[in-house]
Amino acid sequence: MMAGNLAVVNDIKNAPNKIIVQCSSYEHGEEIIKKIKESKVGETLHF
């Protein structure tokens, strides 16, 4: 979901947590969300 210049990830049903990341465009937000979804536990992400 995109809101202004923020990418919001919350695909876990009924989860209380959200990941909110600033982004410059819709495509940039989609790329960030994809990287987060494909990451593994403990992995460091650079945007």
Q: What is the pLDDT of residue 16?
A: 62
Strand order in the sheet with 2-3: 2-3, 6-9, 19-22
Does the structure show a pLDDT above 80 at 1?
no
For 33-46, write each residue's pLDDT tens digit. 888 888 888 888 88
- CA distance to 9, 34, per residue, from 19 (Å): 5, 13
Write the pLDDT tens digit of every residue in 14-31.
556 667 777 788 788 788
